Amino acid sequence: MHNHKHNPRHNHNQSESEQTAIEQGLEKILSPFQQFIKNQTTSSLVLILATVVALVIANSGLASHYHAWQHLPLGIVVGDWSLVMGSKHWINDGLMTIFFFLLGLEIKREMLVGEIKQVQVLVPVMAAALGGMLVPAGIYYGFNAGTAYVQGWGIPMATDTAFAIGVLAFLGRRIPATAFTFLVALAIIDDLGAILVIALFYSDSINLLNLWVGAGLLLLLILLNVIGVRNPWVYLGVGTLLWGAMLGSGIHATVAGILIAATVPARPKRKPGWFLQRVTELVSKFERLERRKDGPGPMLAEAEQHAVLESMQAAAEKATTPLRRWERVLEYPVALLVLPIFAFANAGIELHLDALQESQINSVALGVVLGLVLGKGVGIPLFTWVALRLGLGQLPAGLQMSHVVGLGLLGGIGFTMSMFISSMGFEEMPAALNTAKLGILVASLLAGLAGYFWLRRCGQKLA
């Protein structure tokens, strides 16, 4: 009798894993890779790789194929109705909506429970974001006022969160942990500003019928939230229709991603107390079923135990928020697929020597480079300092004004959002678009290096 009870338990202690030798071997290889993916710097490295590949191809014998791929028509045709766009258009208007949706989820979470919610910290961060938008836009405008290129004023306003956080991650413990908090909050407000700029100033002539349809669909999504609908497929279906309405309305289609995210439920279906009680009951049931077994066997054969585990999964889903779950699901696909594809489609600039020489005196290049590097580097710490001098809030614990100067420099990494705005502002002006993109690449490199070395120096000084 003793033997019957002891052996199964002893076997479980010997090996808790149901994996085959091949699976265990693969896990040893994949685990470091999975850790690498989770690393803050990974998305930045993948973005850089996609950018470099695009630049190499655009300046090689494959350039014609690259440009042909950008304009390859793709879409849906049903009878007389059709939705056909070039592949680059699909990436910028369609795929990037997923990025904006994730961005919207992050903004909503930060506003509900993040640092942005704390008024004492919020005011200096808002001041920093305002300075990081107004000063760069003003510098660009100063160089391009009265020219056909003035519409690019929104390009140096944005900060690329992934790249900026990636640079901070390289600094490790040399900087206080609150530097990450400040930069993320700053970038989120910055992104919100950029989204408003896109919606208000970089949209085509408005189609009122589509706009009203979009408004109706947005109200439907709000209603679904209010009545407690949490099925992601429902939001995806209505959200896709909203995206279509935005696409036809003249307001940039990616704004739909932000609007959909705003309606995603941020409250769980059940309270933690219910979850604890439910899981305790299910664990007890699982243990009873385990004791009844004659010995260890495959879970596939244990229908009742399988059902208990599925009930646990369902309970966990009810106790978590759709906002948090969907954010987690999208985090890596966006970082490792959506943004690199966008970078590959948009960063292919022809780097001719004569174009480079012309760019040095070009008002667009000067506006973009100085707007991002100088505008962010001065605007962010200056407006923060003014807010603090006026007694409006305080910096997070451990953060000093010297750190804010470094974070301001990192704010000049404009990449993703700046590329996005430039592709809208200079859609019909390929030479200006090329120059703007070149300016963004140069500015992002300069800002990243300047911010890194400044903050490294701050870390050594404090040490």
Residue 170: the pLDDT is 79
Where does 139-226 show beta strands of DSSP type E?
none
Residue 1: the pLDDT is 45
- DSSP codes of every residue in 388-414: HHTT---PPTT--HHHHHHHHHHTT--
- Cβ proximity of 230 and 269 under 8 Å: yes
For residue range 12-70, what is the model confidence (pLDDT) as tens digits?
444 455 666 666 665 665 555 555 455 556 777 888 899 899 999 999 999 999 999 99
Residue 356: the pLDDT is 53
The domains of the chain, with CATH numbers, are 39-203+252-267+321-462 (1.20.1530.10)
User: Is pLDDT of 165 > 90?
Assistant: no
Q: Burial, 265: exposed, middle or buried (Cβ in 10 Å; 0-12, 13-18, 19+)?
A: middle
Residue 2: the pLDDT is 45
For residue range 99-123, what is the model confidence (pLDDT) as tens digits?
889 988 887 887 787 666 677 778 8
For residue range 301-346, what is the model confidence (pLDDT) as tens digits?
567 777 888 888 888 777 788 888 898 899 889 888 998 999 899 8
User: Is pLDDT of 245 > 90?
Assistant: yes
Residue 287: the pLDDT is 81
User: Is pLDDT of 290 > 80?
Assistant: no
* 305 vs 378 pLDDT, higher one: 378
C-alpha span between 298 and 29 (Å, rounded) = 25
What Rg, from alpha-carbon coordinates, does the chain have? 26
What's the pTM value of the predicted model, to 2 decimals?
0.74
Determine which of 164-168, 232-236, 379-383 has the lowest per-residue pLDDT on average.
164-168
| SS percent in the chain: helix, strand, coil, step 5 | 80, 5, 20
Residue 383: the pLDDT is 97
Residues 6+ apart with CB under 8 A from 361: none
Residue 253: the pLDDT is 85
Determine which of 148-157, 171-180, 330-339 has the lowest per-residue pLDDT on average.
171-180
For residue range 423-436, what is the model confidence (pLDDT) as tens digits?
888 988 888 888 89
The single-letter code of the amino acid at 21 is: A
